Structure 1
Protein backbone atom coordinates (compact mmCIF):
# COMPACT_ATOMS: atom_id res chain seq x y z
CA UNK A 1 0.00 0.00 0.00
CA UNK A 2 1.37 3.40 -0.89
CA UNK A 3 2.15 5.96 1.80
CA UNK A 4 -0.58 8.44 0.86
CA UNK A 5 -3.20 5.68 0.78
CA UNK A 6 -2.05 4.37 4.13
CA UNK A 7 -2.31 7.86 5.61
CA UNK A 8 -5.80 8.39 4.17
CA UNK A 9 -7.07 5.08 5.51
CA UNK A 10 -5.55 5.67 8.95
CA UNK A 11 -7.30 9.04 8.91
CA UNK A 12 -10.70 7.63 7.94
CA UNK A 13 -10.65 4.40 9.99
CA UNK A 14 -11.16 6.01 13.44
CA UNK A 15 -14.38 7.59 12.15
CA UNK A 16 -15.84 4.16 11.43
CA UNK A 17 -18.26 2.33 13.68
CA UNK A 18 -18.03 -1.31 12.65
CA UNK A 19 -20.46 -2.54 15.32
CA UNK A 20 -23.10 -2.91 12.60
CA UNK A 21 -21.05 -5.63 10.89
CA UNK A 22 -21.56 -9.26 11.82
CA UNK A 23 -19.47 -11.05 9.18
CA UNK A 24 -16.94 -10.08 6.51
CA UNK A 25 -16.14 -12.68 3.85
CA UNK A 26 -13.12 -11.82 1.74
CA UNK A 27 -12.54 -14.00 -1.33
CA UNK A 28 -9.67 -13.45 -3.73
CA UNK A 29 -7.09 -15.11 -5.93
CA UNK A 30 -3.61 -13.84 -4.99
CA UNK A 31 -2.37 -14.41 -8.53
CA UNK A 32 -4.70 -11.80 -10.01
CA UNK A 33 -3.09 -8.40 -10.40
CA UNK A 34 -6.29 -6.61 -9.31
CA UNK A 35 -6.61 -8.32 -5.92
CA UNK A 36 -4.22 -5.93 -4.16
CA UNK A 37 -6.94 -3.69 -2.73
CA UNK A 38 -8.78 -6.72 -1.37
CA UNK A 39 -5.65 -8.03 0.33
CA UNK A 40 -4.96 -4.61 1.83
CA UNK A 41 -8.55 -4.39 3.08
CA UNK A 42 -8.19 -7.82 4.69
CA UNK A 43 -4.93 -6.78 6.30
CA UNK A 44 -6.49 -3.64 7.79
CA UNK A 45 -9.66 -5.21 9.22
CA UNK A 46 -7.76 -8.14 10.74
CA UNK A 47 -5.29 -5.85 12.50
CA UNK A 48 -5.10 -6.37 16.25
CA UNK A 49 -6.30 -2.86 17.02
CA UNK A 50 -9.49 -3.36 14.97
CA UNK A 51 -10.11 -6.84 16.38
CA UNK A 52 -9.72 -5.46 19.90
CA UNK A 53 -12.52 -2.89 19.45
CA UNK A 54 -14.85 -5.14 17.44
CA UNK A 55 -14.61 -8.64 18.96
CA UNK A 56 -18.03 -9.73 17.61
CA UNK A 57 -17.06 -9.06 13.98
CA UNK A 58 -16.14 -12.33 12.27
CA UNK A 59 -13.71 -12.09 9.33
CA UNK A 60 -13.27 -15.09 7.05
CA UNK A 61 -10.70 -14.98 4.24
CA UNK A 62 -11.03 -17.43 1.37
CA UNK A 63 -8.06 -17.73 -0.92
CA UNK A 64 -8.76 -19.33 -4.29
CA UNK A 65 -6.57 -20.32 -7.18
CA UNK A 66 -9.05 -20.10 -10.03
CA UNK A 67 -8.48 -16.51 -11.23
CA UNK A 68 -11.87 -15.49 -9.83
CA UNK A 69 -12.71 -11.86 -9.20
CA UNK A 70 -11.98 -10.52 -5.70
CA UNK A 71 -15.22 -10.19 -3.73
CA UNK A 72 -15.93 -8.77 -0.30
CA UNK A 73 -19.26 -9.74 1.26
CA UNK A 74 -20.33 -7.84 4.36
CA UNK A 75 -23.24 -9.13 6.45
CA UNK A 76 -24.77 -6.65 8.86
CA UNK A 77 -26.51 -7.29 12.18
CA UNK A 78 -29.93 -6.90 10.52
CA UNK A 79 -29.03 -9.84 8.17
CA UNK A 80 -28.72 -7.62 5.10
CA UNK A 81 -25.65 -7.96 2.91
CA UNK A 82 -23.43 -5.74 0.82
CA UNK A 83 -21.28 -7.27 -1.91
CA UNK A 84 -18.25 -5.43 -3.27
CA UNK A 85 -16.77 -6.68 -6.51
CA UNK A 86 -13.36 -5.29 -5.80
CA UNK A 87 -11.46 -5.82 -9.05
CA UNK A 88 -11.78 -2.15 -10.02
CA UNK A 89 -11.83 -0.64 -6.53
CA UNK A 90 -9.02 0.73 -4.41
CA UNK A 91 -8.81 0.08 -0.70
CA UNK A 92 -9.94 3.64 -0.04
CA UNK A 93 -12.94 3.11 -2.35
CA UNK A 94 -13.97 0.03 -0.38
CA UNK A 95 -13.82 1.86 2.93
CA UNK A 96 -15.56 4.92 1.47
CA UNK A 97 -18.46 2.79 0.20
CA UNK A 98 -18.64 0.79 3.44
CA UNK A 99 -18.82 3.79 5.78
CA UNK A 100 -22.35 5.04 4.91
CA UNK A 101 -23.67 1.49 5.07
CA UNK A 102 -22.25 1.08 8.57
CA UNK A 103 -23.74 4.41 9.64
CA UNK A 104 -27.21 3.48 8.34
CA UNK A 105 -27.17 0.05 10.00
CA UNK A 106 -25.55 1.02 13.28
CA UNK A 107 -27.32 -0.30 16.38
CA UNK A 108 -28.90 2.29 18.66
CA UNK A 109 -26.65 3.42 21.51
Structure 2
Protein backbone atom coordinates (compact mmCIF):
# COMPACT_ATOMS: atom_id res chain seq x y z
CA UNK A 1 0.00 0.00 0.00
CA UNK A 2 1.37 3.40 -0.91
CA UNK A 3 2.05 6.00 1.76
CA UNK A 4 -0.71 8.42 0.71
CA UNK A 5 -3.27 5.61 0.60
CA UNK A 6 -2.19 4.34 3.99
CA UNK A 7 -2.53 7.85 5.44
CA UNK A 8 -6.00 8.30 3.92
CA UNK A 9 -7.23 4.99 5.29
CA UNK A 10 -5.74 5.69 8.74
CA UNK A 11 -7.59 9.02 8.68
CA UNK A 12 -10.86 7.40 7.55
CA UNK A 13 -10.88 4.32 9.80
CA UNK A 14 -11.48 6.09 13.16
CA UNK A 15 -14.69 7.59 11.71
CA UNK A 16 -16.11 4.11 11.10
CA UNK A 17 -18.59 2.36 13.34
CA UNK A 18 -18.33 -1.31 12.43
CA UNK A 19 -20.82 -2.47 15.07
CA UNK A 20 -23.39 -2.91 12.28
CA UNK A 21 -21.30 -5.67 10.69
CA UNK A 22 -21.84 -9.28 11.69
CA UNK A 23 -19.68 -11.11 9.14
CA UNK A 24 -17.08 -10.20 6.50
CA UNK A 25 -16.30 -12.90 3.94
CA UNK A 26 -13.27 -12.14 1.79
CA UNK A 27 -12.37 -14.38 -1.11
CA UNK A 28 -9.54 -13.80 -3.55
CA UNK A 29 -6.88 -15.47 -5.64
CA UNK A 30 -3.47 -14.07 -4.60
CA UNK A 31 -2.06 -14.71 -8.09
CA UNK A 32 -4.34 -12.13 -9.69
CA UNK A 33 -2.79 -8.69 -10.08
CA UNK A 34 -6.02 -6.96 -8.98
CA UNK A 35 -6.22 -8.84 -5.65
CA UNK A 36 -3.86 -6.47 -3.80
CA UNK A 37 -6.56 -4.03 -2.57
CA UNK A 38 -8.56 -6.96 -1.25
CA UNK A 39 -5.52 -8.29 0.62
CA UNK A 40 -4.89 -4.81 2.04
CA UNK A 41 -8.54 -4.61 3.16
CA UNK A 42 -8.17 -8.00 4.86
CA UNK A 43 -5.00 -6.83 6.58
CA UNK A 44 -6.66 -3.66 7.89
CA UNK A 45 -9.94 -5.27 8.99
CA UNK A 46 -8.11 -8.02 10.93
CA UNK A 47 -5.72 -5.65 12.69
CA UNK A 48 -5.53 -6.18 16.47
CA UNK A 49 -6.91 -2.69 17.21
CA UNK A 50 -9.97 -3.31 15.03
CA UNK A 51 -10.53 -6.78 16.49
CA UNK A 52 -10.32 -5.35 20.01
CA UNK A 53 -12.98 -2.71 19.33
CA UNK A 54 -15.32 -5.04 17.40
CA UNK A 55 -15.09 -8.50 19.01
CA UNK A 56 -18.46 -9.65 17.57
CA UNK A 57 -17.41 -9.05 13.97
CA UNK A 58 -16.42 -12.33 12.29
CA UNK A 59 -13.92 -12.15 9.41
CA UNK A 60 -13.39 -15.21 7.21
CA UNK A 61 -10.81 -15.08 4.42
CA UNK A 62 -10.95 -17.64 1.62
CA UNK A 63 -7.83 -18.00 -0.48
CA UNK A 64 -8.54 -19.52 -3.89
CA UNK A 65 -6.36 -20.73 -6.72
CA UNK A 66 -8.79 -20.49 -9.64
CA UNK A 67 -8.11 -16.95 -10.91
CA UNK A 68 -11.54 -15.88 -9.66
CA UNK A 69 -12.42 -12.24 -9.08
CA UNK A 70 -11.83 -10.87 -5.56
CA UNK A 71 -15.14 -10.58 -3.72
CA UNK A 72 -15.96 -9.08 -0.32
CA UNK A 73 -19.34 -9.99 1.18
CA UNK A 74 -20.45 -8.03 4.23
CA UNK A 75 -23.40 -9.27 6.29
CA UNK A 76 -24.98 -6.73 8.62
CA UNK A 77 -26.77 -7.30 11.92
CA UNK A 78 -30.16 -6.99 10.19
CA UNK A 79 -29.17 -9.95 7.92
CA UNK A 80 -28.85 -7.80 4.81
CA UNK A 81 -25.75 -8.22 2.68
CA UNK A 82 -23.49 -6.04 0.56
CA UNK A 83 -21.29 -7.63 -2.07
CA UNK A 84 -18.23 -5.82 -3.40
CA UNK A 85 -16.69 -7.17 -6.59
CA UNK A 86 -13.29 -5.74 -5.83
CA UNK A 87 -11.36 -6.30 -9.05
CA UNK A 88 -11.67 -2.66 -10.09
CA UNK A 89 -11.75 -1.08 -6.61
CA UNK A 90 -8.94 0.33 -4.51
CA UNK A 91 -8.76 -0.25 -0.78
CA UNK A 92 -9.91 3.32 -0.22
CA UNK A 93 -12.89 2.73 -2.58
CA UNK A 94 -13.93 -0.31 -0.56
CA UNK A 95 -13.87 1.61 2.71
CA UNK A 96 -15.60 4.63 1.13
CA UNK A 97 -18.45 2.45 -0.16
CA UNK A 98 -18.70 0.54 3.13
CA UNK A 99 -18.96 3.59 5.39
CA UNK A 100 -22.47 4.82 4.38
CA UNK A 101 -23.78 1.26 4.63
CA UNK A 102 -22.41 0.96 8.17
CA UNK A 103 -23.95 4.31 9.11
CA UNK A 104 -27.36 3.29 7.71
CA UNK A 105 -27.33 -0.09 9.48
CA UNK A 106 -25.86 1.07 12.79
CA UNK A 107 -27.70 -0.15 15.87
CA UNK A 108 -29.32 2.51 18.05
CA UNK A 109 -27.08 3.75 20.89
Partner of 2:16: 16
| Alpha-carbon offset, residue 7 of structure 1 | 0.1
TM-score (norm 2): 1.00
Partners in 1 of 2:35 and 2:29 — Cα distance? 7
Partners in 2 of 1:90 and 1:36 — Cα distance? 9
| 3-state SS, counterpart of residue 38 of structure 1 | helix
| 3-state SS, counterpart of residue 83 of structure 1 | strand
Partners in 2 of 1:47 and 1:35 — Cα distance? 19
Partner of 1:79: 79
Partners in 1 of 2:11 and 2:45 — Cα distance? 14
TM-score (norm 1): 1.00
Note the 1:1-109 alignment, pairs <5 A. 1-109=1-109
Partners in 1 of 2:5 and 2:79 — Cα distance? 31
Partners in 1 of 2:8 and 2:100 — Cα distance? 17
Equivalent residue pairs, number: 109
Give unpaired runs (5+ residues) of structure 2. Answer: none
| Alpha-carbon offset, residue 18 of structure 1 | 0.0
Runs of 4+ in 1 over 6 A off after TM superposition: none
